[in-house]
Structure 1
Amino acid sequence: MTAPAIGWIGAGRMGYQLATRLLNGGHDVAVYNRTRAKAEPLTEKGAKIVDRPIDLADRDIVFIMVSTSDDLHHVLFGDGGLLTDPDRTPRIIVDSSTVSTDASAKAREGAAARGTEFLAAPVSGNPKVIAAGKLTVAVSGPRAVFDEVQPLLALFGRGTTYVGEGEVARLVKIAHNVYLGVVTQSLAEITTLVERGGVERGAFMEFLNDSVMGSIFSRYKSPALVNLDFHPTFTNILLRKDMQLGLSAGKELGVPMPLAAATDMLVAEAIGAGHVEQDFATLLLEQARRSGYELVAETVPFDDGLAPEASA
């Protein structure tokens, strides 16, 4: 079977790394990014760079990873959008953006009108998680289309889960990110608690990570919590967007979400305090402020458990 020609839209921190994995897998990949210069280094890995999404309309499979629902609509249906060529259209679109179920349904409807299959395939992770080969993907849409695309998705990381038809993968990802916010706020609270009681944050996180309550997430967030390393992997702005999507879904489906609602307000408070460009682990700084003291970095070596794969 001939390998598909692949298009990629969105070469931000995540998209760049995932496109790289497809290129490293020997695939023919053409890339569009709104800021072309950010995608140019991919040419050294074999990518072709195009100027508009519509220039990818002749590709077999096009992956998309953009930031918002509006961005998704624009790259599909806006001026020079992927689905605006009257003569050409991809066979399959795989969208890995984190957008609302409504935006996803409109994208699927527009693709279907052009005879294009559509998979919702949001991912869990960040660039370092990708490099470690630990990214996971939730996918929804036609099962036969998933089966065709799954070998490509398998290159992204360690796990691809088919979760059903339609837009349910969006709800899975939104629920995941609501949990991400609640867990991070909880980590901020308990870490502040033990430090106020005289325990070093590093010692506490080492204990927690080795316990049954430890996780891949708590380990790779440990350097941020211990050494105050807030290099952005995911910002409070993006987390707030997803918390709001989750609360909206809860309202629509009749599911009370009091912990999520409280966390959403605390994330908003962190944004109001100016923590907009740094990592969302800055929730710790706000928790310390509310507790009446200023944190100091412990500057101790801490393994985050995300060593890059040998081939990455």
Structure 2
Amino acid sequence: MKIFLHNDSVKLENGAELPGLEIAYHTYGEMNADKSNVVWICHALTANSDAEDWWEGLVGDGKLMDPSKYFIVCANILGSCYGSSGPMTNDPSTGEPYYSGFPDVTIRDMVNAHELLRVHLGVDKIWLGLGGSMGGYQILEWACSQNNLIENMVLLVTGAKESAWAIAVHEAQRLAIEADNTWRDHNKEAGRDGLIAARGIGMLTYRNYETYVAVQSDDEEKLDDFKAASYIKYQGNKLADRFNAYVYWLLTKSMDSHNLGRGRGGIEKALTGVTAPALVIGIESDILCPVEEQKKLAAALPNGSYIEIKSGYGHDGFLIESDAIHAAINAFLS
């Protein structure tokens, strides 16, 4: 992991200012002489900049996104806790972590941070912008703000605006965090139990009824200690061990405000200006970002195409169904 330090102040979309930025990022491979082999991957809510780790089915030696062919960049998003400026980094004015003092950020702010890194790296064109879920929001926002920068896009389980359904899910998750009486304490463990509960809520939307029944049903006649309950607790604790409640609260807020049409005359007008070829991929069983959203997105993009992958893994399918996604992207790029 590398760190880019931007020492000038940065104004956020809501008018707040940060005195500077730290951006954590990974690169794989080398940029070629004409800078035509850049692949920029944007990550989702709780991931980090090491795309070779969390998207191992697509990124790495011998994979579709092979560092021997491409210069691959992935940056940790603004507001996260994996090296980039966020609630857990130090406020220069106090020398202590920001915690609740870190300002709200938007997807647009995250893209502006990516743009600073792009210039620092000397990237003139992005041959392929690739992102799933919240990562797709960033690729779309970037394409709207700089139409000629990204030459091809692959957008998985994503949309042009956060849905009322997803906002409601996020609010339920934030309510769980806020109900933890340690929430707002100034330490890294603040809101841990609330984060566990929030992750549990999220896990209900990342998969679906069929998956839980197929995998988490109990054979014996039990009165307690059900597999599904243990699974939810396990996933909640697993996230709480590596993430932070302040960050989760902040980043779900940033997703709620995702709206490509804000300040651009509406979504339809904003998407009309995005002329790069775009492959939109939906997962048949996704209940968080249903396929209807991806179909609308593909239809609204001037050079959009849509493919639907059959999978029982729901929203998480974009991280799991590597073979099918590999085939779809390969066909698109060919």
TM-score bracket for this pair, using the shorter chain length: 0.3 to 0.5
Higher strand share: 2
TM-score normalised to structure 2 length: 0.32
Which of 1 and 2 has higher RCO (CA within 8 Å, sep 6+)? Answer: 2
TM-score normalised to structure 1 length: 0.33
Higher helix share: 1
